[in-house]
Amino acid sequence: MIGIPYLLEQTNIQVTFEDIEKILKNMHIFNDIVLASKLRIIKVSPKSDMAIIWINIWDAQSGIKAKTLFNRRFNVGSFIATI
């Protein structure tokens, strides 16, 4: 996922995997998605304020659930995240 800030708004504290999991649980596009491992959060670059979030989902060999998420967008506060 891209388009998520690396620092939480108004606090300047680094976003954690717990923060992202809470966001995902509240999104309808993730209703049937089960995470296979802990999220990984990486800062885009040293000067950037954005993050790349790597998720590993539990899916069938055909990847049906993953295909439903590709190129989907959703709001995170005032930001638009893209999968």
- In one-letter notation, the amino acid at residue 8 is L
How many domains does the chain divide into? Answer: 1
User: How many other C-beta atoms can be found within 10 angstroms of the C-beta atom of residue 3?
Assistant: 17
At 83, is the pLDDT very low, low, confident or very high (cuts 50, 70, 90)?
A: very high
What would the pLDDT profile of 21-78 be if each residue is shown by its tens digit? 888 888 888 888 888 889 999 999 999 889 999 988 888 778 888 888 899 998 888 8
Containing structural domain, residue 22 = 2-82
Kindly give, in sequence order, each residue whose CB lies less than 8 Å from that of residue 81, ignoring residues fewer than 6 positions away.
1, 2, 3, 4, 53, 73, 74, 75
